[in-house]
Amino acid sequence: MPESISIDIHNGEIELLSHEGFVRDTLNALGDEVANVARSIAPVYRKGPSHGGALSIHATTGQNANGYYVDVTWDAAHGYMRFPNAGTRYQEAQRFMERALESVIGGLL
């Protein structure tokens, strides 16, 4: 199960776009929106550190050989968020990261 969600745009697929900055900015905006939705639907328990985990969800835009990408994930101190997201043998998966992605870009795919 993934611990984060990546949105990849490959340069070959966007070569017709002359403004790569526009692609980066669009990915950044989509990533921020996915992160906002994920924060709002991530589990928060009254007791324990979960509230910090939900608040740590953020988007980071980068570039690699394939082009621009955005990662939406939680910070390293809140790595336990993968358990409610992906589930364990004791806890059903809540899939809040996938649900956030679907709610933001589901209609775009």
The residue ranking higher by pLDDT, 17 or 104, is 104
Contact of 74 with 81, CB cutoff 8 Å:
yes
pLDDT of residue 75: 92
- 92 phi, psi to nearest 5 deg: -70, 140
Using one digit for the tens of pLDDT, what is the confidence trace for 1-42?
A: 567 777 776 666 655 554 567 778 888 899 999 999 999 999
Using one digit for the tens of pLDDT, what is the confidence trace for 49-94?
A: 556 788 899 999 888 777 778 999 999 988 989 999 999 999 999 9
pLDDT of residue 82: 93
Q: Each residue of 60-91: b (16+ CB within 10 Å) or e?
A: ebeeeeebbbbbbbbeeebeebbebbbeeeee
d(CA 91, CA 108): 31
C-alpha distances out from residue 59 to 24, 44, 71, 92, 104, Å: 12, 19, 6, 25, 14
pLDDT of residue 26: 86
